[in-house]
Structure 1
Amino acid sequence: MNDRARGHSSATLSEASGLDIVLSPRLRPVWSGARLCGPAFTVQGAGGDNLALHHAVPHAPRGAVLVADFEGAAFGHWGEVLAVAAQQRGIAGLLIDGGVRDTAELEALGFPVFSRNNSILGTRKDFPGVFGKPVVVGGVVVRPGDLVVADVDGVVALPSADIDQILDRADARVAKENEFMEQLRMGRTTLDLYDFETTGR
């Protein structure tokens, strides 16, 4: 499943889904080329307090993406230390509605992180967090096991019950677009191929 999803962009999956699965465009990769793909391990944290992430790392299954609601808070909830710990556990990456730090170090590690902001403000260590419950990240409800795909264009969260159907439609969409590309290279126009209205107003 993950291998199939990795072959598609966030835009293709969004268009193929027909669902409201697109997270806020304010959630951006912290380094160029970062990409996420994996099932969500959900984390409810508290803005300005990163103890939940310290607890999440040893509890998340290998291959999971940590999907964390930190209320959009501009604090350095995640950095190099947690990224190294996460890599050793086989965690696929982090999607956080909140801030992170150490972006150069995260890039050097090759650990993919998508966040709402970057911040060097320090954090408390009081709230242990809640795991395995639906969270709201980027304005969308993400549930445990939903498939998170993120790239330079955006972030989507595919509902676990619909993943196979969405991937089937994405495969078909890509095949059709490849045919269109060949037609365009032969001189056809997008107006012809998409059967758009050709007369101006």
Structure 2
Amino acid sequence: MTSDTRARILEAALDTFCEKGYSACVDDIARRAGVVKQTLYHHYGSKESLFREALTGLVNVLLVDLGTRSGSLREDLLRFAESFQAQAMSEQGLALHRMLVAESPRFPELARAVFETWQLAGTELARLLREAMDRGELRQDDPEFAAEMLISLLTGTQRDLLLLGMPVECPQQSGRMARIVDCFLQAYAPLAGAAKS
């Protein structure tokens, strides 16, 4: 199978699963990809394997890369916040969340694996925060907990509203991101009298 055919199949599978969940028909996926159903089974073995690969591929696309550091903690956190929220609140990000909630009882190990992959964004963020704590830019604390807190602030109620189809202001609004980052930085500001390293 060519890489182009593989990409078409995975894209078709992802679109179909996002629309219909795991109950999506393999015939619909094949038709959308422009291949016969036997091609899907020949290369993926089962609908479950195709579902797993499509979801894993989506998570990797949605991962936030902190990229190169600017030298300003606030700017780095703001760039992360905007990128994270753009991914989490995108149509694909919301579809992934819906699918994981709906299909986790059927695929608990897949849900766990997808969650752990998504947590890589939190791991990278925790590393950035740990370095800032070591430099004295933030007070010393558990960087993993701090990363989790910031990510929770970023998703907030906006994701719930979007999942419920309720109107919200633009989730990537820069002013909102700046307020969240500034609140976070204030909460983790170095303690008065603490010496910077």
Larger relative contact order (Cα-Cα within 8 Å, sequence gap ≥ 6) = 1
Q: Flag the structure with higher strand content.
A: 1
- TM-score bin (small chain): under 0.3
Higher alpha-carbon Rg = 2
Q: TM-score, normalised by structure 1?
A: 0.27
Q: TM-score, normalised by structure 2?
A: 0.27
